[in-house]
Structure 1
Amino acid sequence: MESVSILQVVGYKNSRKTTLIENWVKEIVAIEKEVAVIKHHGHASGLDLPSNETDSMKIFHSGATCSIAVDDQTIQMHQLKKEWKLEQLLQLVKISEPEVIFIEGYKQEHYHKVVILKDSKDWETLQHLKNIVCVIVHGDLEIENYPMIHIENTVLLKEWLIDWIGGDKLETI
């Protein structure tokens, strides 16, 4: 993979980041491009793992730092590491050769960002992020100096995304 469009989607809890990414993935697939997503799971409970009765989980729980189950088209990987850096995760995603990567979260990273705002208080802390390329708002917020789209305006959201991907927004990883 020579280059890929990388776009971060950031905002606070329940701002509909995952819903937006899910819709955008469908749009990317519809134009026959490969897409991958890295989602930061910021919940204290941790990720839900498959049943401990599966062979791959038995191996994982026996002490393996990595357990991979694979069939003809899909892999399921469980890997234990103290701390994952976004660049390491991008290297893992690179294996699937996507043309577009969405990153949910990782606010302080340097990639182009779409910021989702539920209210003006969100903007107070998020406006200082680097590389904001679009602001998506709930309600009737007005944000200056950035393209701004209402979260319910699916037509404009799709148009913005397709324009962004078609432009010169390619970043090499």
Structure 2
Amino acid sequence: MKIYGVVGWKNAGKTGLMERLVAEITRRGFTVSTIKHAHHSFDVDHPGKDSYRHRAAGAREVLLASRNRWALMHELTDEDEPSLADLLAKLSPVDLVLVEGYKRDGHAKIEAYRAATGNPLIATTDNSIRAVASDTALELDCPVFDLDDTTAVADFILAEVGL
């Protein structure tokens, strides 16, 4: 599987770019999966639901299945957070895995950047960032795309990974 990341500070446009890239790349006939890193505790379940009650009772894993999808929830409890490599190994094979976050890992990435956030560019100090998708013109030693030019960003990523 090919892997490519989308990184950036909070409110830089990462999730919107990810959403548009998934739609554009799958429209072109490629299979895509995503991994999203969260810096906070999150829950995909809700109090009162049976699966939530199973986890609250102490189940280590709860697999929820229907005819439309299945989801496996794994409680880490006393375990360390799994590495990106560990998580990638759990995915079914696809043409491309787009990873949102994991900015400190060494895989190739594009940075989403919005000037209004006031945050510094990550690309200036991180060689794993191969391009920037920005809402403002930038002079950098790597390609810079308009943040809303999904076609150009998708072309770049697919060329980078050889698809």
What's the TM-score once normalised by structure 2's chain length? 0.85
Pick one of 21, 25, 30 that aligns with 1:28.
25
Pick one of 68, 84, 89 that aligns with 2:63.
68
Pick one of 69, 93, 99 that aligns with 1:103.
99
With over 3 angstroms needed to count, the CA separation of the structure-2 counterparts of 1:162 and 1:126, relative to structure 1, is closer
Q: Distance between the aligned counterparts of 1:89 and 1:154, measured in 2?
A: 26
Does structure 1 retain, via aligned residues, the 8 Å contact 2:25–2:154? no
Does structure 1 retain, via aligned residues, the 8 Å contact 2:33–2:96? yes
Give ranges in structure 1 of 5+ residues lacking alignment.
168-173
Does structure 2 retain, via aligned residues, the 8 Å contact 1:36–1:101? yes
1:114 Cα offset (Å): 0.6
Identity of aligned residues (%): 25
1:10-21, aligned counterparts within 5 Å? Answer: 10-21=7-18
3-state SS in 2 of match to 1:158 = helix
Counting matched residue pairs gives 158
What's the TM-score once normalised by structure 1's chain length? 0.81
Give ranges in structure 2 of 5+ residues lacking alignment.
none
3-state SS in 1 of match to 2:85 = helix
1:160 matched to 2:156: yes
Deviates more, 1:112-121 or 1:145-154: 112-121
1:12 Cα offset (Å): 0.2
3-state SS in 2 of match to 1:42 = coil
